[in-house]
Structure 1
């Protein structure tokens, strides 16, 4: 791993008597694609809420480039589980939304976004509304809205979880291609073992509640990746870890 851009050290978070995260530590290097993988209820989305400032940790430290994360400056572009496109805005105006929130005027934001439509497979759809796009195209528009903000790091919260299996596989291949081309520093949370193996340089495996790191798995496979014996072997090892870890139910 290259020098860490993001470090979480001993993070704990509880909601009343419910301990969601317990002494969790991870690191993401510059240009790495890292995944956090775990079952439902293991605290994956809570980690992103902590990073984006929606929640505060009860204990531990969150560092970016060696300095504590500041409440008024979060160097992340966040892509949620759902595309969150606004039905009443055309695609060009959906993709500029993050820039407009930063105070960039609409026309200036459009000039920044417009050259990227072809690269994201959206050329010719600038004036369409979200309802006129397929699920995969909506997710491409959502990712374009995310990366055009030019933040230091991408946070991807199960971005393909709502898609059908075939579209999801296509989007995973597309994201791998885009990541390889641009070298984005990326952190993905997912419960999909194969998705994590196909996309990641490293995978942190979370236990069920309270979420703790039970393994860090390197994925030393060349890109582009396709399903096969090597992917299946890593996938099987991770599944064994998850299935052999006791589950705490509430």
Structure 2
């Protein structure tokens, strides 16, 4: 079996007197697309704060490629909830921003970005400002800015939550097609059950805060799942089972 790229064992974390995560253990292997699913406030985004180093666990261990996370050299590329494009920078310069922050010259960064514009559906729009683009195109530009950094793992923090339903469905298809082509290692944080089922190889379901793992689901559906109804009834059955788990009263909650 392929060794994990990312492995969490017994992780607990919180803020002052507020415990957010409690005994979280999970793995992500190279080339896997894994989702973290749970109710609002369950601590999904807190996990990403642990990965990016802005929060330290109070208990447990995080390993990256078998070594403590602190020993890894910038392993993650992060895509936030909003596209976070700079309105005063053209699309080409927004896409190069992450590389420039790392110290790459704008010229060199553009050389790396330009061959990918067509693949991301942005060819011909590189000189436009973000305000001129649709929501889906802006998200594709944000995803390009993320993946062009060539980090070994992507962290996607509810990146489609602000999109309308039709645009979000289009982005799901786009991301699935790109993942099948490039086999990124990716972790998606979401509260959208259907999104998690359609995109993921495995889903970790969190309880309400303080979050524990209440379900781990391997998704056996073949890909592509999002064209011609390929996901179908089997996906719907998985979604319903997850919803039943999420809606079931947890210990200490009223039914």
Provide the TM-score with structure 1 as the length reference: 0.97
1:202 maps to which residue? 202
Q: How does 1:94-109 map to 2 (within 5 A)?
A: 94-109=94-109
Match of 2:27 in 1: 27
Q: How does 1:1-250 map to 2 (within 5 A)?
A: 2-70=2-70, 73-226=73-226, 227-246=231-250
Equivalent pair of 2:34/2:202 in contact (CA under 8 Å):
yes
> What SS does structure 2 have at the residue aligned with 1:54?
coil
Report deviation, 1:71: 7.0
Seen in structure 2, the aligned counterparts of structure 1 residues 248 and 56 have a Cα distance that, compared at 3 Å, is farther
d(CA) in 1 for partners of 2:99 and 2:247?
43
Structure 2 portions without partners, runs of 5+ = none
Runs of 4+ with deviation above 6 angstroms = none
How far did 1:248 drift?
6.5
- Equivalent residues of 1:209, 1:247 under 8 A apart: no
SS at match of 1:4: coil
Q: Structure 1 72/231 Cα, relative in aligned 2: closer, same or farther at 3 Å?
A: closer
Q: Whole-Å Cα distance in 2 between the matches of residues 202 and 86 of structure 1?
A: 33
Instruction: Answer yes or no: is the 8 Å Cα contact 2:35–2:190 preserved in 1.
Output: yes
The 8 Å contact of residues 51 and 74 in structure 1, kept in 2 or not, is answered as no
What per-residue deviation string (whole Å, max 9, x for no partner) do you get for residues 196-243 of structure 1? 000000000000001111110010000111352011000011011111
1:27 is displaced (CA, Å) by 0.4
Q: Is the 8 A contact 1:88 1:129 kept in 2?
A: yes
Rate the CA distance shift 1:103–1:40 in 2: closer, same or farther, 3 A. same
Contact 1:207 1:245 in 2 (8 A): no
Secondary structure at the counterpart of residue 74 of structure 1: coil
User: What SS does structure 1 have at the residue aligned with 2:138?
Assistant: helix
Change over 3 Å in CA distance of 1:71–1:54 after alignment to 2: farther
Q: CA deviation at 1:74?
A: 2.8
The change in CA–CA distance for 1:245 and 1:205 in structure 2 (over 3 A counts) is farther
CA distance in structure 1 between the aligned counterparts of 2:248 and 2:205, rounded to whole angstroms: 12
> Structure 1 stretches of 5 or more lacking a match?
none
The count of residues paired between Structure 1 and Structure 2 equals 249
